Structure 1
Amino acid sequence: MAQRRIGLTGGIASGKSTVGRLLAERGLPVLDADVYAREALAPGSSGARAVAKRYGEQVLAEGAGEPCEPLPALDRAALGRIVFSDAAELRWLEQLVHPLVRQRFAAELERLREAPVVVLMIPLLFEAGLDTLCSEIWLVDCDEDQQLQRLMGRDGLSADDARARLAAQWPLARKRALATVVLDNRGGPEALAPQVESALRAGAAPAAPSPPPA
């Protein structure tokens, strides 16, 4: 692969966005799966209509109208409470959203095909099988207790709700064995910048993702 494609992943609230900002500040294009997933469920989209049809008024934002109206706006917090408490519903939502996200990645990678380096920021990189798009994989790592506290503080979740979201992803321990680079975010954001610089220099030439250990 001539283009260097950095797959940036981690666990929820592990610090991916901070690393993504550091890379964007260095002029690298950052393709954000979370942005594409939000677009897939934007008001008026086929995804939003499918969700409104399945769950009805309980997932509609206040003032959004009935599910049959052309522009349903979703209450994402309400949708999250449903899917993170029911594995079958989470699978349904992923089967709806993941193909749309893949399409956006394909279109953006085609648009950026002449760029020497592209960053693909994908929380569910391994879970969704998108690691095949990448020439190397950077994992933003921290302790599970830190994830839990950061997630509760960031999103205003209870401990039980935060644990349910953590349980919906692969644990970081499983991802570490598959990463090309592990960025330690157990300290503060200021500790990430030198690690990012080092990883950029170390991978100046394109490389294939490291195979999992035997």
Structure 2
Amino acid sequence: MKNAYFVSASIACGKSSFIKIANELGFKSLSADTISNDILQNNAALLAELFSLNLDKEGKIDKKILANLIFNDKETKEKLENFMHPKIREELFEKMQILEQKGRIFFVEIPLFFESDFYKNLGKSVLIYAPKNLSLQRLMQRDGLNKEEALKRIEAQMDIEKKREMADFVIENTGSYEEFRQNCVKFIKSLKE
């Protein structure tokens, strides 16, 4: 797909902020996280049974409880991924094909792009980069996690430096939001040219 750009990073590096900026500039985007959440909630009863979870008053899964479960139990994490990932890929691929036919650049936000072989060769990869210590600080602040909890989540993903080596493009997010925004706009405009 010549119009697809896969946006990835480690947790709390700025993927979602990049997508928001691209959308403001008039570009279409897809989010694996949004699709994942829809699939999760559409299968809430089945997943609650599979993982012995209680649903909330609205019949939904509490994502914080699920996150604690999967970041503390490798088997549970694998079981959930085996259930979710094929469904996410199928829906994402269908939506990508629709956007590709429009003949305009679009962005696909996939947190685990570099960890999965499924999306390789489907488009170019864009890494939103912040060093591990900075993403650790941001994650603790954003999600109210202690250092140990935040580190578990960061270390559950491929090391950011390894991702940096694999990426087609790297956008730095190491300073202020305004600096990051300028880096994003500059990069997106360079694609249009």
TM-score (norm 1): 0.83
Give CA-to-partner distance per residue, 1:45-71, whole Å, 9 cap, x none: 23x233211222xx324435xxxxxxx
Matched with 2:137 is: 149
Q: Unaligned stretches of 5+ in structure 2? A: none
- In 2, distance between residues paired with 1:130 and 1:152? 31
1:129-173 CA distance string (max 9 Å, x none): 243264211101112111111111111212111111111110101
What displacement does 1:103 show?
1.4
Long gaps (5+) in structure 1:
65-71, 206-214
Q: Separation in 1 of the partners of 2:170 and 2:5?
A: 12
Q: What is the Cα deviation at residue 6 of structure 1?
A: 0.8
Corresponding residue number in structure 2 for 1:211: none
Q: In the TM superposition, what are the counterparts of 1:60-139 in structure 2 within 5 Å?
A: 60-63=54-57, 72-112=59-99, 113-132=101-120, 134-139=122-127
Higher Rg: 1
Distance in 2 separating the partners of 1:204 and 1:129:
27
Q: Any conservation in 2 of the 1:28–1:117 contact (CA below 8 Å)? A: yes
Q: Report if the CA contact (8 A) 1:8-1:139 is conserved.
A: yes
Residues 6-51 of structure 1: CA distance to partner in whole angstroms, max 9, x if unpaired?
1100000001111111101111111011101100111xx23x2332
Q: Structure 1 or 2: larger helix share?
A: 2
Contact between 1:131 and 1:137, CA under 8 Å: does it hold in 2? no
Percentage identity across aligned positions?
26
SS in 2 for 1:23: helix
Matched, 1:34 2:22: no
Q: Distance in 2 between matches of 1:41 and 1:135?
A: 26
**Cα shift at 1:177:** 0.7
Give 3-state SS (helix, strand or coil) of 2:119's partner. helix
User: Could you tell me how far apart the structure 2 residues matched to 1:26 and 1:133 are?
Assistant: 26
1:189 to 158, 177, 185: 177
Aligned length: 192
SS at match of 2:162: helix
